[in-house]
Structures are given as structure tokens and as C-alpha cells.
């Protein structure tokens, strides 16, 4: 036999306990979680089939129906980050060889494309310059040309700060027998979204944006049409079958076990078939995120994001920064601004973090080094966070050599608040 690796195990002194410094997270997410959500996570655990647990699961489903504005029975959590929810929807709805149309107007459109490709789909992409959105007519034309099984698109793409209008496309999809999937990770809770009203068949989200929680749980909802597709491809896990001829494997089996929405539905549904071990603390967090939104009311939450987002826009403009992207389709919860000529964007971001403990966002791909992204969302969609960020940014810009009028950012935001009052 060959010699085994005999390198000694690590014997480093254990690290100290975590003790994170206080930050004000004003980037495109994650943002500071609502303290009530963080506290919910430190509640003690219960067993995964404890009646208390199944009751919390049912409440969570009902709460997310409110958040997604749907009556979909199939409303649940996928245990992973928002990206896990995206992949669960796509890999469960798309069989290898299925045609998928992906309109790409930012980074997360590319992600949908990539996930659909890996799921074996025949992916057709239409692209738009980052910062713009598709007119519905372009989507309709592409639907008619490609005739896909699924139209997969991002609602609000934080990489470009704009949101694709979705109000009309659901009806077009239904008429053509096309399933409509929307990634609402960055938009849900801070921008109007009406799953049933708009005819969306599958939507997935995350907690770390307007829902005011930490990343790590992905709320998902499926229409009855979508559930039908998933169920046709589903099978019961081998280790759970008492007899081997019970529930034989589907012919067109979903490629993932972990992200198989058919099995996850059986776990959340009345059969309660064991799948993963539910991430209880993240479920507590997701429950509290949705509960706080439901308590506030979805319209009020959207209005709050619109107000504070517009105050941030006014303030950043007041500081002389040029707004990025199609302002008619700006997301309420994230603002893109061009980095002023001649300054080092990353150095300025680092100074803001070092001196004021405030984080704003960098950007990806074609926008890298060109724009900053400033988030106003979830727990941080507040007046004090907007004004504090603007005051701090004014100092950082001036130190970097950018000519700014003293108080111009905060002043413009205050005017916006006065107008709205």
C-alpha cells in the first residue's frame, strides 16, 4: 500500500469568539439585519417534526404568500442563499433540452443563463446594455421567435440598479404556454411585486435585501402550473421507500436532489416526507422578516423604500454625483452613481469604511471601477441612515479632491423629505 498523507493536523490556538464591529451597510446587500430578526435566530431549537415546528413552517408559508402577493399553496423556503432558490426553480422547471429564454441586462441575467445552461437547457439570450431594461415589445418578439418552455428573468438587478417592468409579460407568457420565472431577490419588499396579479409562475428571493435579514434562506413560490411541471419530474428518495416499487423514479428526473422542489414540496406539504434537516434558525429569521413586513403592510414597505431611495438620489445629486442607469426604471432600494473623474473609487470606499464604518458597494463586469452602488433597503431604509451616509460621503469626496458644496448632499435629501411630508 502507498503511504498515507501523514501531515500533522493543525494545532493552531483557537480563534477568539467573533465580535464584529458595528457597521452601517449601505451597499447593494447584505445590509444590517433588523435586530428583531437577529434576536429571533437565537431562540432555542425544536425538533423538525415537533408540532411547534410544523406550525412555524405553516405560518412562514402564509407570511410569504403575503410578501409575494400570492395564494400559491407551493410557497416555502429553500435552505441556502438566494442563489440556491434561483437554481432550485430553474433545475426543477427545466429538463435537459428545454428551450429557455433569458433576457440579460446585468450580472444576474448572466447568472440565470449560466444556471439554465448547467441544467442542460437550450438557452437563448437577448441582451441590453447594462443600465437599461427591455421594452415589453422586445420580450414579446423574442418569445415569438424562440418559443421557449421558460422565460427566466431578473426583476431588479442590483448590478445595474434598474428593474425590468413585469406587469404585462405574464399574460403574454400564459397566452403562449410559456412558464415565467422571476428572480426577485433584490426587489421583493422594496418594489411593487404582485405574483398572482402579474401571472408569474415561479419567483425566488433572499432575506439580505429589502427583507432585512441575513443571507442564507431563500423564499420561493410556485404557481399551480409550475407545480405540475415539477411534480411530473419528482420521485421519493430511495432511503424513505418501504417497498422498492413504491413511487418509482420519474423518467425525467430532476438533476439535483438538494434543490429538487418536488421533494422539498413533499417536506413542506401534508406528507412531511423527510428531505433535508430544516435550517431552523434561518427559518426563524425568515419568519420574522416576513412577519415584520406583513405587519407594516406591503404597500407601506414599498412606499418607505421609495421615499428613502428618492432622498438618497436627491442627496447624491446634491453632492454633484452623476446618476447611473435609466432613472425611469430605477429600483427603489439601490442607487448607482458614477465615480467622479480622477479619484480612486476603491480608496474612497475604503476611507468611508475606515473613518465612518459605512459600507457602500463596488460593481461588477463592465461597470467595475465606473460606478458605486448605494443601497437604501430593509432595516436601513431610514432617514438617519440616508443623512449619515450623505454627510460622511461629503467628507470622503472632499478629502479625495472632489469639489463639493458643504451640506449639499444632506440639504438636498432634507428638501426631499420636506416635500414628501
Which residues sit in the known binding site?
Answer: 373
**Whose Cβ is closer to a second copy: residue 106's or residue 156's?**
106
Question: Which grid cell is 297?
Answer: 403592510
User: Binding of a second copy at residue 12 (CB under 8 A)?
Assistant: yes
Contact predicate 374/25, CB 8 Å: no
Site string for a second copy, 55-74 (x = CB under 8 A): -x--x--xx-xx--xxx---
H-helix or E-strand spanning residue 373: strand 371-375
What is the SS3 assignment for 81? coil
User: Binding of a second copy at residue 32 (CB under 8 A)?
Assistant: yes
User: Binding of a second copy at residue 248 (CB under 8 A)?
Assistant: no
Phi-psi map region of 2: left, alpha, beta (phi>0 left; psi -120 to 50 alpha): beta
The residue within the footprint of a second copy, chosen from 252, 256, 391, 417 (CB under 8 A), is 256
User: Binding of a second copy at residue 262 (CB under 8 A)?
Assistant: no
Of 309-348, binders to a second copy (CB under 8 A) are none
CA nearest to 274, candidates 68, 53, 11: 53
User: Binding of a second copy at residue 228 (CB under 8 A)?
Assistant: no
User: Binding of a second copy at residue 285 (CB under 8 A)?
Assistant: yes
Task: Determine the interface stretch with a second copy among 115-123, 142-150, 301-309, 411-419 (rule: CB under 8 A).
Answer: 115-123
Burial (CB count <10 Å: 0-12, 13-18, 19+), residue 177: exposed
Of 186-225, binders to a second copy (CB under 8 A) are 194, 196-199, 206, 208, 214-216, 223
Strands 74-78 and 24-25, by their bridges, are: unpaired
The residue within the footprint of a second copy, chosen from 147, 368, 370, 383 (CB under 8 A), is 368
The residue within the footprint of a second copy, chosen from 242, 251, 418, 421 (CB under 8 A), is 242
**Whose Cβ is closer to a second copy: residue 351's or residue 410's?**
351
User: Closest approach of Cβ 195 to a second copy, in Å?
Assistant: 8
Question: Which grid cell is 8?
Answer: 500533522
Of 294-313, binders to a second copy (CB under 8 A) are 294-295
**Whose Cβ is closer to a second copy: residue 240's or residue 347's?**
240
How many residues in the shown chain lie near a second copy by CB under 8 A?
A: 124
State the residue for C-alpha cell 458595528: 22
The conformation of residue 323, written as its DSSP 8-state character, comes to: B
**Whose Cβ is closer to a second copy: residue 40's or residue 311's?**
40
User: Binding of a second copy at residue 258 (CB under 8 A)?
Assistant: yes
User: Binding of a second copy at residue 83 (CB under 8 A)?
Assistant: yes
**Whose Cβ is closer to a second copy: residue 112's or residue 412's?**
112
User: Binding of a second copy at residue 109 (CB under 8 A)?
Assistant: yes
Task: Determine the interface stretch with a second copy among 270-278, 332-340, 386-394, 404-412 (rule: CB under 8 A).
Answer: 270-278
The CA–CA distances, whole Å, from 73 to 64, 352, 373 equal: 11, 45, 36
- Kindly report the backbone phi and psi dihedral angles of residue 351, in degrees, each rounded to the nearest multiple of 5, phi listed first: -65, -40
User: Binding of a second copy at residue 237 (CB under 8 A)?
Assistant: yes
The residue within the footprint of a second copy, chosen from 245, 270, 277, 403 (CB under 8 A), is 277
- Kindly report the backbone phi and psi dihedral angles of residue 251, in degrees, each rounded to the nearest multiple of 5, phi listed first: -70, -45
Contact predicate 161/324, CB 8 Å: yes
**Whose Cβ is closer to a second copy: residue 84's or residue 163's?**
84
Contact predicate 187/162, CB 8 Å: no
User: Binding of a second copy at residue 155 (CB under 8 A)?
Assistant: no
The conformation of residue 28, written as its DSSP 8-state character, comes to: S
In whole angstroms, what is the distance from residue 33 CA to residue 36 CA?
8
User: Binding of a second copy at residue 241 (CB under 8 A)?
Assistant: yes
Which residues define the annotated binding site for substrate? 373
**Whose Cβ is closer to a second copy: residue 140's or residue 400's?**
140
Query: What count of other Cβ atoms lies within 10 Å of the Cβ of residue 16?
Result: 6
**Whose Cβ is closer to a second copy: residue 221's or residue 317's?**
221
The CA–CA distances, whole Å, from 31 to 76, 83, 312, 365 equal: 23, 17, 16, 22
The CA–CA distances, whole Å, from 198 to 54, 97, 178, 222 equal: 30, 27, 14, 13
User: Closest approach of Cβ 403 to a second copy, in Å?
Assistant: 29
In whole angstroms, what is the distance from residue 286 CA to residue 82 CA?
12
**Whose Cβ is closer to a second copy: residue 112's or residue 404's?**
112
Amino acid at each position: 500500500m502507498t503511504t498515507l498523507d501523514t501531515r500533522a493536523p493543525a494545532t493552531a490556538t483557537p480563534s477568539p469568539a467573533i465580535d464584529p464591529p458595528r457597521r452601517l451597510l449601505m451597499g447593494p446587500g447584505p445590509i444590517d439585519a433588523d435586530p428583531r430578526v437577529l434576536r429571533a435566530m437565537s431562540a432555542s431549537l425544536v425538533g423538525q417534526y415537533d408540532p411547534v415546528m410544523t406550525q412555524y413552517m405553516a405560518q412562514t408559508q402564509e407570511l410569504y404568500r403575503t410578501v409575494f402577493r400570492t395564494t400559491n399553496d407551493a410557497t416555502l423556503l429553500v435552505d441556502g442563499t438566494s442563489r440556491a432558490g434561483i437554481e432550485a426553480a430553474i433545475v426543477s422547471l427545466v429538463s435537459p433540452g428545454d428551450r429557455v429564454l433569458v433576457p440579460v441586462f446585468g450580472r444576474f441575467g448572466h447568472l440565470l443563463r449560466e444556471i439554465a445552461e448547467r441544467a442542460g437547457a437550450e438557452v437563448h439570450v437577448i441582451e441590453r446594455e447594462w443600465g437599461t431594461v427591455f421594452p415589453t415589445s422586445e420580450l414579446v418578439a423574442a418569445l415569438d421567435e424562440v418559443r421557449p418552455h421558460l422565460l427566466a428573468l431578473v426583476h431588479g438587478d442590483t448590478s445595474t440598479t434598474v428593474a425590468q417592468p413585469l406587469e404585462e409579460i405574464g399574460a403574454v407568457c400564459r397566452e403562449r404556454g410559456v412558464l415565467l420565472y422571476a428572480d426577485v431577490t433584490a426587489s421583493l419588499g422594496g418594489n411593487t411585486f404582485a405574483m398572482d396579479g402579474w401571472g408569474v409562475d415561479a419567483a425566488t428571493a433572499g432575506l439580505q435585501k429589502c427583507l432585512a435579514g441575513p443571507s442564507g434562506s431563500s423564499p420561493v413560490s410556485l404557481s399551480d402550473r409550475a407545480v405540475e411541471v415539477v411534480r411530473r419530474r419528482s420521485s421519493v428518495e430511495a432511503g424513505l421507500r418501504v417497498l422498492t416499487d413504491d413511487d418509482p423514479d420519474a423518467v425525467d428526473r430532476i438533476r439535483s436532489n438538494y434543490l429538487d422542489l418536488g421533494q422539498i414540496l413533499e417536506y413542506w406539504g401534508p406528507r412531511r416526507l423527510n428531505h433535508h434537516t430544516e435550517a431552523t434558525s434561518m427559518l426563524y429569521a425568515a419568519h420574522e422578516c416576513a412577519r415584520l413586513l406583513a405587519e407594516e403592510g406591503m404597500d407601506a414597505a414599498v412606499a418607505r423604500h421609495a421615499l428613502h431611495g428618492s432622498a438618497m438620489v436627491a442627496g447624491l445629486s446634491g453632492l454633484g454625483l452623476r446618476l447611473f442607469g435609466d432613472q425611469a426604471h430605477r429600483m427603489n432600494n439601490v442607487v448607482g452613481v458614477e465615480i467622479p473623474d480622477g479619484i480612486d473609487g476603491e480608496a474612497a470606499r475604503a476611507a468611508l469604511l475606515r473613518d465612518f464604518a459605512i459600507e457602500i458597494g463596488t460593481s461588477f463586469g463592465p461597470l467595475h471601477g465606473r460606478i458605486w452602488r448605494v443601497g437604501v433597503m430593509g432595516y436601513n431604509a431610514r432617514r438617519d441612515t440616508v443623512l449619515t451616509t450623505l454627510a460622511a460621503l461629503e467628507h470622503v469626496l472632499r478629502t479625495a479632491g472632489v469639489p463639493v458644496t458643504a451640506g449639499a448632499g444632506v440639504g438636498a435629501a432634507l428638501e426631499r423629505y420636506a416635500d414628501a411630508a
